[in-house]
Amino acid sequence: MAEICEYPVILVHGMFGWGEGEGINRKIPYWGASSGDLVDFFRECGAKECYAASVSPISSAWDRACELYAQLTGTRVDYGKAHSQKYNHRRYGRTYEKPLFDSWSAEKKIHLIGHSFGGNTVRLLVHLLENGAKEEQEATPEDEISGLFTGGKKDWVCSVVTLCSLHNGTLAFDVCNRYHIMPVLEGTAYNYAGIVGRTRLNGKFVDFHMEEYGLSNTPGKKDALPLRSVKKQLKKTDDSIRYDMSYEGAGKLNERIEISDNVYYFSYAFNAVGKKPGSKKYKPLYISFPFLKATSTLLLYDDRRFNSQTEDRFERFANDGLVNIWSAKYPSDEPHKEYDPENIVPGIWNVMPVQQGDHGAAIGLMTDSEKTHKLYKEIYDLISFAESESR
């Protein structure tokens, strides 16, 4: 396997996450958390360039993909004319004065690594780069359409790695709805984003990137809209992380996304569930982050028949505290195979062995740094191999 990654490595955070450009990252790096900054670790492994991108922690996969593209290219965020009209929000967001790195092209591809909802985001980005968006092409004059929607960038991505991603949605959404937890979580997030996002603290701690709805100010402007009306609109829209997390929303996203035949895909699922010696019941045994023990238990026992079912049933309800194994492994409508080091090919999901640990362990939260670094060294070797094969 190759020792040096010439192509930039781009890390994309999940829900309620952040990138390296935000204040909180200096204290607690999202990528690495208590195990040490993984951006630095990738560079130590041999990556010439590695960046932790910043996108909205609570927006839809579409809006996040648009923000990621603008950040990578150093352009104004364009959510699309057709999309913004459909969901009644602003078409444009902030402007990035310079790209995250220089010369992104077919000659200088990128490696994309997404945790949790970051995996859904990077999958959509790859699809749009290659195929564009027909509805945006039909609605937008050629001289003003974003390069993200025109397609034709098939060779701009070398590899995709997802960790604990909810490719097919997550039972957590259904459970939170059933027990009326979702409105509380949503309300708290929107209130916090709406208040902090209108102050100078936005970005100094966490940047919510919610200017398309007017929930937060566009950097350099005071253009936020009345908080009550924005929250009312967000509550009804399907252009949200809430909808994309659901089985229905993830299914719609999967219908849109087509796998790219020249991109190497790798997926990691984590499992926090097991049986104690002598016990017949499954419990969340491998939890590092205390909050996830409660959520894992809730997911595990939401279906009382779980403990008498087959291994297939196990994969459907066993989870990392937030995402079920079966959803994290691969999108249900795309080709996949178990990882075989002797047969790593593009255009198909290479499904890695299930890791022991919770949702946070996948990014080094409250877990052993040696274990985290071993995992990310493996990821580095996978993407460097993909790079050597694609050159």
Q: Is the pTM of this model over 0.85?
A: yes
Q: Is pLDDT above 90 for 187? A: no
Least confident interval from 43-47, 127-131, 136-140, 167-171 = 167-171
Q: What residue ranges do the domains of the chain occupy?
A: 9-179+247-390
**Using one digit for the tens of pLDDT, what is the confidence trace for 82-139?**
999 999 999 999 999 999 999 999 999 999 999 999 999 999 999 999 999 999 999 9
Contact 302, 374 (CB under 8 A): no
Superfamily of domain 9-179+247-390: Alpha/Beta hydrolase fold, catalytic domain (3.40.50.1820)
Is 66 in contact with 146 (CB distance < 8 Å)?
A: yes
Query: What does the alpha-carbon distance between residue 290 and residue 220 come to, in Å, rounded to a whole number?
Result: 38
| Count of positions (residues) in the chain | 391
231 pLDDT band, cuts 50/70/90, is: very high
CB distance 259 to 167 below 8 Å: no
CA–CA gap between residue 213 and residue 232 (Å, rounded):
11
Residue 303: what pLDDT?
Answer: 53
Query: DSSP readout, 202-263?
Result: TTTS-----TTTTSSPPTT---PPPHHHHHHHHHH-SSSHHHHHSHHHHHHHHHH----TTS
Q: Is the pLDDT of residue 294 over 90?
A: no
Mean pLDDT within 22-38: 94
| 266: nearest Cα among 383, 127, 122 | 383
Answer whether 270's CB lies under 8 Å from 162's CB. Answer: no
For the residues 359-386, what does the mean pLDDT come to? Answer: 96
Contact yes or no for 164/115 (Cβ under 8 A): yes
Return the residue matching tokens 């178990």. 338
Alpha carbon of 365 to those of 43, 288, 358, 360: distances in Å? 20, 8, 9, 5
